[in-house]
Structures are given as structure tokens and as C-alpha cells.
Amino acid sequence: MAYRALERMRQRNAALFGLPAAPLPPAEHFREGERSLKAMALRFLHRRCEDLRFDPARREAEEADGRWQGASFLPGQIPYDMQMDIDRLCLERELERFIDSGAAEDAYTVYYCYLEMFFGRYGRSKKMVELLSEFESNGSSLLMKHRDHYSHSVYVFALGLAVYEACEPFRRIFRRYCGFDPAQPDADRAAACCFLEYWGLTALFHDIGYPFELPFEQVLSYFEVTGESRGKGSLYLAYRDLDALTKLGAEARARFEALYGRAFDTTEALFAHGITEKLGDAYRFTEDYVLGKIHDKPLEPNAFGYYMDHAYFSAARLYREIEGALGPARITEKHVDALTAILLHNSLFKFALSFYKDEEKHGPPLPMDLHPLAWLLMLCDELQCWDRTAYGRNSRTELHPMAADFDFGPGGLRATYYYDKEEQEKIDDFKAAYRAWEAGGEQGKAPRLKAYSDMAEKEQRFLSDIRKIVDTGLFPLTVVPDTREADRRSKHTYLSSSSFLHLYDFAIALNARYAYRGREKEIPAERLEKEFEAMSLEYQLSNLNQAKSFSRYLDALDCFYTDRPVDYRMITAFTDEQAAVIAPMEHERWVLEHIAMGWQRGDLYETAALPPELTEHFSDEKEARKALREQLRMHKLTMDGDPTEGEIFAHYETLPEEEKEKDSAPFNSMLKLVRKYEGLRIYALD
């Protein structure tokens, strides 16, 4: 049973009410034997991560006093382990949604799930996540070359889960590396749960340092736009007073001295020790050498080819976030492993440790067993080159893969990268030039068509570079380029345009609108946020996904939002006719969300005789029946099976007027919220 706490609740409900399946077992959204990226990543979450974040001590306490410690719509309604199972299901469903769409809004909710599950509260860390998206969408168009790193990081996360699921040697090495005894019956499950936490930390945040690199690149773009190459004579930025980012406090110094048996004054020194401990012997460098390289990254970019290394800032910034969220006493060596993997992934390993492009000095590609997280991050970071928004001036005109298919077969990974068929003329011109270059004795540089040529030419530059960076002997790779017609419908792109960074604030406000029915302005914002945080991840995501749907609903009304003044009629409130369009669409979203999360239709929670433990622990019958609804995961307003849009819309018409109003009223509030938080205005196309 993949979701064992839900199974225990199902057995309890069967004994109490004679129900065969309440709650329903979560459905597997992949076929047996399917080996695509989506199937492998979801299979890992669904089957390997049993009992993720379960707490035996809480379970014992619940059994002793009969009071549940888990939250659903309200605290105390379900067992704690059941909440953990539902949280994992939320991550599984949100990752599936993102893989299907590739949209930044869906990447956002994957980040949200991870931070809620492993950092404890999204609101505390939201600036770290949102800053990267804001910088890229607003500042990157000033650069010569730049592509998305926000959705890219979630793709990297998914790729790593799929590799773990598909590659038995990596699972074995990671289990041994982290000290899980294979003789113990629970070792595989515990290792998978450990991998999810620390791989998520590594993959999702490996590029959060880009806001430090982008200003550096913007300055150099003034030289490159006129045809000048970066180098001596270029004006460049360097960073000073880095103690604010790197200096360790007394509590942190004491913690790392306890872990490593020696003191560190800065994160630079800590990272240098961690890297040398793992790679020093294999690549013949000392701790002083790598510390010097790390220390000079932000200070002397001229010593690194006039490039600023975002990986340095990603690791340093993420350390501060971990320390703030968990406290120094809860930081482990595995956190340091994730941070050093991030620090290594961009240029430090390639150009200062292994010298992978230097024919005389180059060392061996990184094997899995020396630093599994670094190995996997560098592999997945290279593989994830498809479906990335191009921001830079040159990047927008280059040819990059728009999609990819992955076959994680028993013989390794076969990756097929697809280029837009509308670009066939560029491809044909490249092939003709390449054949002419071959016929001419291969004199001079080979013709290039970034990134197609790196996959299509006989040198297989894309694949050969990966093999120089990481050892693929235990995980063979095959790369094939192809073309097909572009299909951008999955991204659900609408005319509305905004960085839409305030989804969290919108979700809090929408939840308040349901709770207070127009009185939410009277309630302090801090109280509204606390009430939102008290709900389970499932209910928080429901509000977030409702806010994300706003642009789709506006599109159906021939409306859009923008922060630019435009010559269209401004909308300040929805009419009854417009509300009648939005409401069934919102009901459809709610129904499909409940079906995906395993809810079923029924009203037993309103009609059944309440068991004594519910009446004992809840103040009145109404509260007890709300708790029973959450334990049964049953709702009288949802639907079963796989209903069509037409069937859901017809179902909406049967709802009481009070329930219909819940689907439309919040969106008049959204008109005010988008103006308040983002300076947006709503306009009609007519």
C-alpha cells in the first residue's frame, strides 16, 4: 500500500460504517511499464516514498488520548500521518501538473509544496523563490544570452526523481553514501524519503543566485552588443563586504565543529572542507586551493574569464535560508552536501577542479559515488535544455529544443529532443553547410546552429560534454535530435501578462473571502495569514490554484489584466452575466481537483451516527461532522469518475444558490486584489 495512513483510516471507517473504500486509495497516474519522465517521477513519489515524514511519537500520542494531531481544513481533524500522506499526494499531483504544462505558475506550486513540507512554512521563504522569477522576467531581456531558470529548476527536480527511480546503481550508491543499512527491511524506503528531501533542496534552489549574476551580465552586455568580446578592458562588477552573506554566527560555528571536529568562520571555509573531503584525493587539490577559488569567485571575476558564478551565491543564499528556517542545531551534513553540490554545478568543478576542456590537465568525469547529489545535479542540469523561455537578445533568435521525450529503459536513458518544425529551413541550411565543411576537408571551425548542431553533428558535442563532466558508465545516455510541430496549448498561455508574484497573498485573501463573506477587511492581515497557514497543504493549494485560474477565467470573458496603460475599457466589477460564465468554470476546477485528490461523492458525514470519539473531542455536532467529512474524504457537492466539462457544468446548475455564489463572488474581490498587490488593471477587448 503506497499511502499507508490513508489505508489505516479506510480500515477504521470500514469498521465504523461498513464502507469498502473511504477514503479512496490515491490513483496511479502512470501505466505499469511506462518509462517516460512523467511516469518515472510519479512512480518514485507514489511507490518509493511510503511513510514520508511520518512521526511515530505523534502516532503513539494520538492512540493514547484519542486526539488527532493532523490538520485538514482545520487542525485536529485527521491523524498526523494521514496529513503527511495527503501532503505527499499534493506534491505528486502538482509535479504531474507541471510536467504536463511546463508553465511557471505550475512550477510555483511545486516550490510551494516542497517549502511547506520540508521548511515548515512557505511565507517565510517566499522571497527566495519569487526573486529569481521577478529578476528573470524583468531584467533578462537586457542580456545577450539568458534563458529561464525558474521552471528549469523544477524540470531538473523531476529528472532527478526519474533517474533515481530508473537507475538501480544510483539508488544503491546513494543508500550506502547516506548510511542506510541494506540489511534493514526499511532501508529502501528511508533512503528514498531522504533523497526526496535533499535532492529537492539541491535541484529546486540550485539557480537562486542568478539575481547576483544578472546585473554583472547586464553591464558586460554593453560591450558585447557592439561586437566586443568580454575580457581585459571590459567594465565589470565585483562584490564586496560578503561577511553579511558568508560569516557564521557562534551557534552555527559550534554546530559545525560538532559535526566535523573543527571550527569554520565562514560558509566559504565550510564548503571548501566539504568539497575537499569528497573530491580532494581524486582530483589532487588541497583545501586551501579550493577555498581560494571559492573566495575569489565574487571578488575577482576577471580571474574566471570575466564570468560571475551564480552557483556561489545560490549556495551562500540557500544556507542563510536553511539556517533561518531550521536553526543551526537542525542543520546536518546532508544539508552541506546539497549546498556543495550547488556550489560545484556551474563552473567550479568543470574549470577549477576537473578542467574538463583542457586536454593536458583534465581529470576524470565525476563518478556517482564521490558526491551523488553533485553528480546528479550536473547530469540533470545539462539534460534539461528543452522548453526554456529565452530572454536574452541572442537567445531569442537561436534554435533550442522545444520539447523532449525520455525513455528510462533498462539500458540507460534515451533522450529525444524536438525542435520546431517551422525552423526546418534553418536546420536544412545548417546540414548543407556542415556537409560542405566535411567535403572541404573539415578546414576551420565547423558550422554551428545552437543547440541543434551540438546534438546533430557527428562530434555529438552535447553528449560528449556531459560524458566529460559526469561518469555515465553506470547510466548510459543516448541523445537524438528530431523535429515536430509546436503545440503550445499545454502552457495555457493567455493575453494577461504579469509576473504574478502575489499568488500567496491572493490565496490568503480568497480564503478570507470564504470565511468572512465581505467582512475580511475588518480582520488584521496577520490573523488572516495565520488562519491560512493553519489549514493543510491541500486546502492552501486549492486557494492557490483558484488564484492561478484567474487569467483563464478572464480569457473566457474576453478580458485581460496588465500593468501597462492601454486603450481598452477598464473593468471594475463583474456583471451578473460575466459571473455566470466564471462560476461554472470555477466549479469545474474544484470538482476536478477533488477527483484528482481522491475525494468521492456522498453525504454520509451528515447522516451517519457519530462515533463516541468524535463527539468526545469536538465541541458540537457540526464541528464533529466537519471532521468526519475530512476523515472520509467525502463531499456531497463533488462528482465521481471522469466527468466531462458538460457534465460538470450541468451538475453546477443543480447546486443551491448559496453554493453557486461561492464560485463567483470571490472573483470580484480578485479585481481589487490584483490592483492592490501588483498594480494591474482589468480591461475588456470589446
* Tens of pLDDT, residues 158-172: 999 999 999 999 999
543: Cβ contacts below 8 Å, ≥ 6 apart: 506, 507, 508, 510, 511, 532
| Burial environment of residue 313 by CB neighbours within 10 A (0 to 12, 13 to 18, 19 or more) | buried
- Flag whether 95 is in a domain: no
Shared domain for 469 and 367, answered yes or no, is no
Where are any strands of DSSP class E within 280-326? none
CA distance 286 to 597: 52
- Give the per-residue pLDDT at 146: 46
Answer whether residue 480 is part of any domain.
yes
Tell me, yes or no, whether 387 and 435 share the same domain: no
Dump pLDDT digits (tens) for 207-255. 999 888 888 887 877 666 556 678 888 888 999 999 999 999 999 999 9
Q: Using the predicted structure, report yes or no on whether residue 484 has a pLDDT greater than 80.
A: yes
Instruction: Using the 3D structure, point to which of 378, 397, 416 is the last residue of a domain.
Output: 397
Pairwise pLDDT comparison (139 vs 653), residue with the higher score? 653
Residue at which a domain ends, from 490, 509, 526? 490
Residue 72 lies in a domain: no
Q: How far is CA 79 from CA 2, 5, 66, in A?
A: 17, 8, 10
**Stretch among 106-120, 397-411, 599-613 having the lowest mean pLDDT:** 397-411
**Does 269 lie in the same domain as 234?**
yes
Asked whether the bond before 524 is cis by omega within 30 degrees of 0, the reply is: no
Model pLDDT for residues 578-607, shown as the tens digit of each residue:
988 999 999 999 999 999 999 999 999 999
CA–CA distance, 311 with 213 (Å, rounded to integer): 9
Residue 526 has pLDDT above 90, yes or no: no
Cell of 203: 535541484
Taken in order 341, 346, 349, 354, the sign of the CA dihedral is: positive
Considering the domain architecture, whether residues 387 and 470 belong to the same structural domain is answered as no
Do 595 and 673 have their domain in common?
yes
Quick one: 498 and 486 in the same domain?
A: no
* Calpha distance 270→554 (Å, rounded): 51
Calculate mean pLDDT across residues 174-183.
Answer: 93
Same domain, 369 and 459: no
Check residues 152 and 149 and name the one with the higher pLDDT.
Answer: 152
Whether residue 181 is predicted with pLDDT greater than 80 in this model: the reply is yes
Is the same domain home to 377 and 416?
A: no
Which range of residues forms the domain containing residue 453? 404-490
Residue 122 belongs to some domain of the structure = yes
- Structural domain contains residue 96: no
Out of 92-96, 659-663, 674-678, the most confident range is: 92-96
Categorise residue 592: left if φ over 0, alpha if ψ from -120 to 50, beta otherwise: alpha
pLDDT at residue 490, as a whole number: 57
Res 336 pLDDT > 60: yes
pLDDT computed for residue 1 by the predictor: 65
571 in a domain, yes or no?
yes
Question: What is the 3-state secondary structure of 13-60?
Answer: HHHHHCCCCCCCCCCCCCCCCCCCHHHHHHHHHHHHCCCCCCCHHHHH
- Among 214-223, 313-322, 439-448, 619-628, which is the least confidently predicted range? 214-223
Q: Are strands 681-684 and 569-571 parallel, antiparallel or unpaired?
A: antiparallel
Give the residue, 407 or 579, on which the prediction is more confident. 407
* Residue-level pLDDT at 118: 93
Average pLDDT, the chain: 89
Number of domains in the chain: 3
Whole-number Cα distances in Å, 8 to 52, 85, 625: 15, 11, 20
- Whether 303 and 316 map to the same domain: the answer is yes
pLDDT category of residue 24 using cuts at 50, 70 and 90: very high
SS (H, E, C) 367-414: CCCCCHHHHHHHHHHHHCCCCCCECCCCHHHCECCCEEEEEEECCEEE
Rounded-to-integer distance, Cα 437 and Cα 456, Å: 14
For residue 649, name the pLDDT band (cuts at 50, 70, 90): very high
- Collapsed DSSP state (helix, strand, coil) of residue 347: coil
Q: What is the spatial distance between Cα 351 and Cα 615, in angstroms, rounded to a whole number? A: 66
Domain endpoint, select from 490, 514, 541: 490
Q: What percent of the chain has pLDDT over 70?
A: 91
Q: How confident is the model at residue 387 (pLDDT cuts 50, 70, 90)?
A: confident
Report for 339-353, 381-395, 529-543: range of highest mean pLDDT: 339-353
Confidence class for position 563, pLDDT limits 50, 70, 90: confident
Give yes or no: residues 414 and 452 share one domain: yes
pLDDT band for position 84 (50/70/90)? very high
The verdict on 484 and 498 lying in the same domain is no
Report the DSSP pairing between strands 559-562 and 681-684: antiparallel
447 shares its domain with 564: no
Burial class (CB in 10 A: 0-12, 13-18, 19+), 64: exposed
| pLDDT mean over 338-344 | 98
Within-domain flag for 63: no
Domain assignment present for 239: yes
Cα–Cα distance measured from residue 525 to residue 527, given in angstroms and rounded to the nearest whole number: 5
Q: What is the 3-state secondary structure (H, E, C) of 505-560?
A: HHHHHHHHHHHHCCCHHHCCHHHHHHHHHHCCHHHHHHHHHHHHCHHHHHHHCCEE
Identify whether the C-beta of residue 22 lies closer than 8 Å to the C-beta of residue 35: no
For residue 637, pLDDT beyond 90:
yes
Per-residue pLDDT at 500 exceeds 60: no
pLDDT band at 392 (very low <50, low <70, confident <90, very high): very low
Strand 75-78 versus strand 70-71 pairing type: antiparallel
